[in-house]
Structures are given as structure tokens and as C-alpha cells.
């Protein structure tokens, strides 16, 4: 076993507390594409440019086609070993919180309960008129797009956080209050390009808490992380757990 993996395993075995931050990379081995890099393209649109209130106002059907496409991919996906391993960490470590930027529901499918979906959930719709939120694992038919609310007939939008939109304050409160009691953060499969999620490891570092990372690529925290493992989440967790 590689030295770094061994060190992380030892930490986990004795840990009393842990925050885990995940991003799209953890679901890559489940067949869900990441946002950046060659995977991040959809019909030549930049995925990150479709995830904006502006794009939705301009062309709700196009934005919904993209979310429908993403729903169809995610519906075919199942949690992989890394999602289940993180559920196992939740069971092993008393003071635990999973913060995910992913909207794909795969952590929930793996059984995670102590989790915050910082960017929302792709299977939820939010009515732009009456605010009703509905969870439904489905792909809309072409003739249903853009979908409308069954109660007030206003446009439905995906209940996810778009660029330029704030993270709901109650979500931020849970995350930031939880930092105090945590001795370490484990960052898995995120490029750390998107704030405020990207701030979390820096806050841990600043407070002299431990920072661990699993990612096949280097990121901005690799140089100061206490343990930085270059590898795919699924393969690294197969060695750890």
C-alpha cells in the first residue's frame, strides 16, 4: 500500500471527526461526466454557461434539454465504491459531515444521511411561481419541455444552484457551524474552481486543522495538504477501506 494511502487509513481508523467535500470526480467512475475538461462539453455548449439564471431566462427549453440529458445519464448510473466508502466513514466516525457539490443524488443512493447537497439536487424541480419543490427521478418527455407546475402553471426550474446565485443561507450555516468541531477535511474529486465550496480546505488549513485530498490531478491545495493522494477515488478507497 502506498505510504500516503496508509497514512490516510491510519487517520481514519482513529478519527473522532471528519468533514468530507466531494465534487464531480467521485461520480466519474459511475459514468457521470465531470464539468471541466473534455467531458464538460455538451453539443458544443460550455456546460458552465448553461447553468445560469440568464441562460434560463433566455432559453428555458435549451437549459431543460441539458438538464434532461444529464438526468438521463445519472438515471443509468449507480453509486460506485467511493460513494459507499464515504457512507462507511459516516458510520465509523462519530462527528461526521459530507458536503457534496454534486447534484446527482448518488451519495443518497449509497445511503449517506449526514450530508449537505451544497448545489442542490438535479431530481428536484422548483416552481418559479409558487416555490413548490418536488423530487422525482425521471426524464421529461420532449413535449413536456420546459415543464410547468401542476399547481400554478408557472415554469419549473431545476432546484440547483446556478452560477451568480447564492448558496441558500441555511445550507451555509450548517456547513460553517460544523467546521468548528472537525479535526480534518477530506477533499475528493473536485477541481476547487467554484466558490464558496473551494474555500473549505483553506479555512481548515488556516485553523490548523488537517487537510487531505484524493484527486488524479493536482489542485490548488495539493501543495499544502497534509496528505495528497494522486489517484481515482474508487481505486484509492478500495485500498483504504
Active-site residue list: 119
Straight-line distance from the first to the last Cα atom of the chain, in angstroms, rounded to the nearest whole number: 12
Residue with cell 447534484: 103
- Choosing from 216, 226, 238, 239, the residue that interacts with ligand OAD (CB under 6 A) is 216
Span from 11-19, 22-30, 104-112, 221-229 in contact with ligand OAD (CB under 6 A)? 22-30
- Choosing from 107, 215, 221, 229, the residue that interacts with ligand OAD (CB under 6 A) is 215
Chain residue whose CB lies nearest ligand OAD? 25
Measured CA to CA in angstroms, residue 13 lies from 25, 92, 236 at distances of 24, 8, 16
Q: Which among 241, 183, 193 is positioned nearest to 217, based on CA atoms?
A: 193
Site string for ligand OAD, 74-113 (x = CB under 6 A): ---------------------------x------------
Comparison of 127 and 197: residue with beta carbon closer to ligand OAD = 197
- Choosing from 7, 36, 114, 132, the residue that interacts with ligand OAD (CB under 6 A) is 36
Question: Pairing state of beta strands 45-46 and 41-42?
Answer: antiparallel
Comparison of 209 and 232: residue with beta carbon closer to ligand OAD = 232
Angle at 166 between CA 122 and CA 159, to 5 degrees: 20
In whole angstroms, how close is the CB of 73 to ligand OAD at the nearest point? Answer: 14
Helix %, strand %, coil % for the chain, to 5? 40, 20, 40
133-135: strand order across its sheet? 133-135, 120-127, 156-160
184-188: strand order across its sheet? 115-117, 95-100, 17-22, 184-188, 210-214, 227-229
- Choosing from 34, 68, 105, 112, the residue that interacts with ligand OAD (CB under 6 A) is 34
Residue partners of 238: CB distance under 8 A and separation at least 6? 81, 85
- Choosing from 71, 87, 119, 209, the residue that interacts with ligand OAD (CB under 6 A) is 119
- Residue 64 is a binding residue for ligand OAD (CB under 6 A): no
In whole angstroms, how close is the CB of 47 to ligand OAD at the nearest point? Answer: 7
> Which residues are at the interface with ligand OAD (CB under 6 A)?
23-26, 28-29, 34-36, 48, 51, 101, 119, 160-161, 189-191, 193-194, 215-217, 219, 232-233
Amino acid at each position: 500500500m502506498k505510504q500516503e494511502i496508509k497514512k490516510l487509513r491510519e487517520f481514519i481508523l482513529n478519527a473522532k471527526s471528519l468533514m468530507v467535500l466531494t465534487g464531480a470526480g467521485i461520480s466519474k467512475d459511475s459514468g457521470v461526466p465531470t464539468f471541466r475538461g473534455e467531458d464538460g462539453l455538451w453539443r458544443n455548449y460550455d456546460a458552465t454557461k448553461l447553468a445560469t439564471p440568464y441562460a434560463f431566462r433566455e432559453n428555458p427549453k435549451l437549459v431543460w434539454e441539458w438538464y434532461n440529458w444529464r438526468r438521463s445519464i445519472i438515471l443509468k448510473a449507480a453509486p460506485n465504491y467511493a460513494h459507499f466508502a464515504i457512507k462507511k466513514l459516516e458510520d465509523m466516525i462519530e462527528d461526521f459531515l459530507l458536503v457534496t457539490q454534486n447534484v446527482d443524488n448518488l451519495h443518497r443512493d449509497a445511503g449517506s444521511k449526514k450530508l449537505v447537497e451544497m448545489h442542490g439536487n438535479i431530481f428536484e424541480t422548483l416552481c418559479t411561481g409558487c416555490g413548490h419543490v418536488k423530487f422525482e427521478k425521471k426524464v421529461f418527455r420532449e413535449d413536456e419541455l420546459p415543464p410547468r407546475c401542476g399547481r400554478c402553471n408557472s415554469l419549473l426550474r431545476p432546484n440547483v444552484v446556478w452560477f451568480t446565485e447564492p448558496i441558500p443561507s441555511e445550507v451555509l450555516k450548517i456547513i460553517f457551524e460544523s467546521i468548528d468541531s472537525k479535526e480534518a477535511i477530506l477533499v475528493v474529486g473536485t477541481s476547487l474552481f467554484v466558490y464558496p465550496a473551494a474555500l473549505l480546505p483553506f479555512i481548515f488549513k488556516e485553523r490548523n486543522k488537517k487537510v487531505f485530498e484524493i484527486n488524479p490531478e493536482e489542485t490548488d491545495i495539493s501543495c499544502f495538504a497534509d496528505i495528497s493522494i494522486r489517484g481515482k477515488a474508487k481505486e484509492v478507497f478500495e485500498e483504504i477501506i
